[in-house]
Amino acid sequence: MSSNFVDYVKIMVRSGKGGAGSAHLLRVKYNAKAGPDGGDGGRGGHVVLRGNAQRWTLLHLKYTKHVFAEDGQAGGENLRTGRMGRDEVLEVPLGCVCRDAESGEWLGEVTEDGQELIIARGGRGGLGNDHFKSATNQTPRYAQPGEPAEERWVVIELKVLADVGLVGFPNAGKSTLLSAISAARPEIADYPFTTMTPNLGIVKYRDERSFCVADIPGIIEGASEGKGLGLRFLRHIERNSILLFMVSCEQLEVEREYRVLLGELEKYNPELLDKRRLLAVSKCDLMDEAMQEQLRAHLPDGVEALFISAVSGQNIQQLKDKIYQYLTEDDSDAQ
């Protein structure tokens, strides 16, 4: 079954070439040598990415392999400038990055609604012969050709924009937590890899405030080397302000699981370790207080931890309080 969530496409794009300038010489009834009057050529069309907040996937571009912008028209007589070529605009969800597929060159990113990014620039139109007349050359019979088009294969990747990214092994309870704290309804079942695509949920907080949480598909040991779902979804963690690590209390070695998750992120991108981190030990409705206290002695150092249960609601409000505290602290630090 094919997924409606597409976060990677490769497309060949070609801008329009510039129109040639005109080398026309004006001839009128009473002046056979009235001089040059060739107009400039029109600019070729650009290929542009435009941010659209209403889109959340690249599905509409999945089967688009070639995008060609229109060529600029040649200049005409009477100093007429050729018409510019029509731009080709590709609407993309916010959070997309674009690279040259062959060289890996960074072309830019789109993070705001309506923002435009030119990924193939149209050729400039050539100058008409009117620009080249002078006292010593009053009838230039030449004009500039238009600039050639740009052609390249590009890769467009979507990196989900969210305040909080849920990081954990398959079946750690991430989807259950997202459904408990937001209106999102991800698929939930008692087997690994239930979540095959990132899910976003808006969490309503006190006084009509809110923040966005992304449920990232489960990571396994070796994900940074391409195992399991591998690198396909690790990119979505890069844009999150806070990483909420989730480890099920069923896994008694909580510290080891946390260290493995942390290690996979570090192998993928060491800069991820600079983000604020919070640990949630999930499914704690399966444990009594004595067992929780016993497990608390084996929690990792250097990260704040909460015992939660999305089923019973244990510490869910405290978790939202802590997340919002971290987010507002980050905002004040940025200022």
Instruction: Name residues whose C-beta falls within 8 Å of residue 166's C-beta, 6 or more positions apart in sequence.
Output: 174, 177, 178, 213, 214, 215, 216, 244, 246
Q: 152: left (phi > 0), else alpha (psi -120 to 50), else beta?
A: beta
CB 274 within 8 A of CB 239: no
Q: For residues 303 and 292, what is the distance between their CA atoms, to the nearest angstrom?
A: 17
Query: So what's the pLDDT on residue 264?
Result: 83
Query: So what's the pLDDT on residue 220?
Result: 59
Query: So what's the pLDDT on residue 208?
Result: 76
pLDDT 10s digit of each residue in the chain, 335 long?
A: 345 678 889 999 999 999 999 999 987 777 667 789 999 999 999 999 999 988 888 989 999 999 999 999 999 999 999 999 999 999 999 989 999 999 999 999 999 999 999 999 999 999 999 999 988 888 899 999 999 999 999 999 988 778 888 888 877 777 888 888 876 555 544 444 444 567 778 888 887 788 888 887 766 565 455 554 445 667 778 888 899 998 888 776 888 888 988 888 888 888 888 889 999 888 888 777 788 777 887 788 888 988 888 888 888 899 899 989 988 886 545 43
Query: So what's the pLDDT on residue 143?
Result: 94
Q: Which pair of structure tokens corresponds to residue 58?
A: 């690249």
Residue whose structure tokens are 């060491």: 270
Query: So what's the pLDDT on residue 165?
Result: 87
Q: Which of 231, 281, 229, 224 lies closest to 258, judged by CA?
A: 281
Radius of gyration of the chain (CA): 29
Query: So what's the pLDDT on residue 4?
Result: 67
Domains along the sequence of the chain with CATH: 8-158 (2.70.210.12), 164-334 (3.40.50.300)
Query: So what's the pLDDT on residue 245?
Result: 92
CB 57 within 8 A of CB 75: no
User: In 10 A of CB 248, how many CB atoms?
Assistant: 19
